[in-house]
A and B are shown apart, each in its own frame.
Chain A
Amino acid sequence: EVQLVESGGGLVQPGRSLRLSCTASGFTFGDYAMSWVRQAPGKGLEWVGFIRSKAYGGTTEYAASVKGRFTISRDDSKSIAYLQMNSLKTEDTAVYYCTRDLPGYSSSWYDYWGQGTLVTVSS
């Protein structure tokens, strides 16, 4: 059974950093691209970023709102995807979901989602 479990959320002050983890199981993690999507309280879904599998260079793409502040990485040996969030702003407050993408260079649909982890940025 495919499972994605996010962790690392919590309360953080503006300007500080936080790292989220997404631990995957039930599939060959290294074969798949992974994405992060967030949802501010009471709002819609917002795509955050994407990391390709190592077969496609392990390169990343980001939303303009987080580019230069957030970094996605992966450790295929541990089946974990990370979202490093620096210089956090109050508007980054959201539930953060990791999602399984498809093998390949481009992104596609998300057939599996984690349960989400809440990040609250407040002084």
Chain B
Amino acid sequence: EIVLTQSPDFQSVTPKEKVTITCRASQSIGSSLHWYQQKPDQSPKLLIKYASQSISGVPSRFSGSGSGTDFTLTINSLEAEDAATYYCHQSSSFPLTFGGGTKVEIK
């Protein structure tokens, strides 16, 4: 099973700051890594697919990078509405797995 390790677990950030979340895979997964945002009491929402591909309707301040085992989700100029938990997810091989999540709080 491929283990995805996210860091940090929690981040408290002021608006307009830049946020960086990392996701490390226990073995190479190419670019089969996707990012989701989940707000309280809501279903997850797809932010980035295949490590760096943008999703229609997602604000351009969200971007992804990486390949192999190391991946990054960047939120440029954080807005209050970005308070949420962020998850990475690998689809390289079964069983599919998710990272443990990173909770982003607005100061």
A residues near B (Cβ < 8 Å) are 35, 37, 44-47, 50, 61-64, 97, 106-111, 113-116
* Contact A44/B89 with A109-B34, A113-B43 known, Cβ cut-off 8 Å: no
Pair A45/B89 contact, Cβ less than 8 Å: yes
Pair A109/B50 contact, Cβ less than 8 Å: yes
Pair A109/B49 contact, Cβ less than 8 Å: yes
The stretch from B16-24, B66-74, B76-84, B94-102 touching chain A is B94-102
How close is A114's CB to chain B, nearest CB, in angstroms?
7
Within 8 Å by CB of A109, from B1, B46, B97, B98, lies: B46
Interface size on B, residues (CB 8 A): 24
Within 8 Å by CB of A114, from B1, B43, B50, B85, lies: B43
Tell me if B15 is interfacial: C-beta within 8 Å of chain A.
Answer: no
B residues near A (Cβ < 8 Å) are 1, 32, 34, 36, 38, 43-46, 49-50, 55, 85, 87, 89, 91, 94-101
Can you list 25 pairs linking A and B with CB atoms under 8 Å apart?
A: A44-B85, A44-B98, A44-B99, A44-B101, A45-B38, A45-B44, A45-B98, A47-B95, A50-B96, A62-B95, A64-B1, A97-B43, A97-B44, A106-B91, A107-B94, A107-B96, A109-B89, A109-B91, A110-B36, A110-B46, A111-B46, A113-B43, A113-B44, A115-B43, A116-B43
- The residues of A that contact B32 with a CB separation of less than 8 Å are 108
Chain A binding surface SS class: loop
- The residues of A that contact B55 with a CB separation of less than 8 Å are 111
Pair B46/A46 contact, Cβ less than 8 Å: no
How close is B77's CB to chain A, nearest CB, in angstroms?
25
CA distance A55 to B85 in the complex (A): 36
Query: What is the chain B residue whose CB lies nearest that of A62?
Result: B95
Query: What is the chain B residue whose CB lies nearest that of A66?
Result: B95
- The residues of A that contact B50 with a CB separation of less than 8 Å are 109
Pair B96/A44 contact, Cβ less than 8 Å: no
CA distance A50 to B95 in the complex (A): 10
